[in-house]
Amino acid sequence: MPAGKRFSTADLAYIAVFAALIAALSLVPGIPVGPVPITLQTLGVALAGLVLGPWRGFAATALYLLVGFAGLPVFAGGASGLGVLGKPSIGYLLSFPFAALVAGLLARWLGGRNPRLRFLWLFLSGLGASFLVIHPAGILGLMLILQIDFAKAFAIDVVFWPGDVAKNLAAAAIALAVHKAFPALLMQRVPVAA
């Protein structure tokens, strides 16, 4: 966000709602596939960026992490606190604000192109953020916490790819519907100076 700018009351409400949405999606029972379960958290992260735009999406996911690190049981499986910093999923978690930021930036950049392809642009924005930010950070976290090499971490991570494609298809469809109902939401004005 530009220096000297601040969020409006409506922006803060959107941020809080999307932080709560990510928390709710993380509490849906995950599918155990190894050291990191498959959850719906990344659906919420993609939605935050695609619906709210880069800065509010970043803030919503950062708020989600903040309340989880502060002790509210909002992480997958009801986990909370600073103890999650030692779990194999930490790379994924810490990447969430940056993934929402990238998804929002890509959605804004691509959104002005052919409007008939808006669903495709939203899907590619969410998927791009996932593969440019979440997966590399997740692999790095797996390597550091589990003390494994890149090949083994990559083999763990690749299991998440089909689900991420499906979640980003869903996020694009939801974001498209939201933007049809509220066309100015993604292209929200820059917050005003104090």
Residues ≥6 apart with Cβ < 8 Å to 33: 159
**Token duo for residue 94:** 């810490």
Query: Looking at domain 9-181, which of 2.40.50.100, 1.10.1760.20, 3.40.50.720, 1.10.760.10 is its CATH number?
Result: 1.10.1760.20
CA dihedral 111, 114, 116, 121 (to 10 degrees): -40
What's the mean pLDDT when you consider all of the chain? 91
Count of residues making up the chain: 194
Residue 5 pairs with which residues in a beta bridge?
A: 193
Residue 129 Cα distances to 77, 84, 87, 148, 175, angstroms: 24, 23, 22, 25, 15
Q: What residue ranges do the domains of the chain occupy?
A: 9-181
Q: Looking at residue 187, what is its pLDDT?
A: 61
| pLDDT tens readout for residues 99-138 | 999 999 999 988 777 778 999 999 999 999 999 999 999 9
pLDDT, one tens digit per residue, over 133-174 is: 999 999 999 999 999 999 999 999 999 999 999 999 999 999
